[in-house]
């Protein structure tokens, strides 16, 4: 059973995530804070198994907060959440040591997969990607890799198709195969794993 601490300045986001996380059997406790200061104050005492940090912040970025937390708590399991196709933030999150990246509108299943990537819930689906491992562990075709690169740049399926002179339906087919190989269910998770295991740089 896992304890989760959510950081986001938006009350509605915190409440929504709490409701979703409460529905996952492996989650024992969900708490939330609105500021990085609260996070740094509570983390040493509560020792949550996973910290979820929102990237959309008015005062300081979620990526910077993640970097600061891992600077003092290197073993902390941190997941960032934000816009679905925010390639720069996904890359930055992985670069500073986050275990993964979730869309702000993730479903309970997608949250469970993200938690599995962070090392929570031994029976949850999804690949376990830990530490700063580099080098691909998944064999992608050239087309699948091109689609992944396009996703990391925030391009739509139609936009990727135009770049590769392929139909949007063909891109969707490559994307589905890509998701299956990476053990994920959406673009954000694919890009996060791509950066972490060295498929993207």
Structural domains of the chain, count:
2
6 shares a domain with 91: yes
The reported pTM is 0.66
80 shares a domain with 160: no
89 shares a domain with 147: no
What is the domain extent for residue 26? Answer: 2-117
Can you say whether residue 52 is alpha, beta or left, with left for phi > 0 and alpha for psi between -120 and 50 degrees?
beta
Which residue, 52, 83, 117, sits at the end of a domain?
117
Q: What is the CATH number of the domain that holds 30?
A: 3.40.50.2300
70 within 8 A of 40, measured Cβ to Cβ? no
17, 27, 160 from 22: Cα distances, Å: 8, 7, 37
Asked whether the CA dihedral 20, 21, 25, 31 is positive or negative, the reply is negative
Q: Is residue 123 part of a domain?
A: no
> Tens of pLDDT along the chain (201 residues)?
789 999 999 899 899 888 888 888 778 899 999 999 999 999 999 999 999 999 866 556 888 999 999 999 999 999 988 887 777 778 888 888 888 888 877 777 677 777 776 766 543 333 333 333 344 457 889 899 999 999 888 889 999 999 999 999 999 999 999 998 888 888 888 888 888 777 887
Q: Is residue 165 part of a domain?
A: yes
């Amino acid at each position: 059973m896992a304890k989760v601490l959510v950081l986001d300045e938006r009350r509605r986001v915190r409440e929504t995530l709490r409701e979703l996380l409460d529905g996952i059997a492996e989650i024992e406790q969900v708490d939330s804070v609105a500021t990085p200061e609260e996070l740094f104050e509570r983390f040493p005492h509560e020792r949550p198994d996973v910290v979820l940090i929102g990237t959309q912040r008015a005062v300081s970025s979620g990526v910077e907060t993640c970097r600061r937390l891992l600077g003092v708590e290197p073993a902390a399991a941190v997941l960032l959440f934000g816009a679905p196709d925010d390639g720069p933030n996904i890359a930055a999150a992985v670069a500073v040591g986050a275990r993964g990246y979730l869309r702000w509108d993730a479903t309970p299943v997608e949250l469970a997969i993200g938690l599995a990537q962070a090392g929570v819930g031994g029976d949850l689906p999804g690949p376990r990607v830990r530490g700063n491992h580099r080098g691909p562990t998944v064999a992608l075709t050239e087309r699948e890799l091109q689609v992944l690169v396009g996703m990391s740049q925030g391009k739509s399926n139609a936009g990727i198709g135009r770049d590769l002179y392929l139909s949007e339906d063909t891109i969707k087919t490559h994307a589905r195969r890509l998701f299956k190989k990476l053990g994920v269910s959406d673009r954000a998770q694919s890009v996060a794993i791509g950066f972490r295991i060295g498929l993207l740089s």
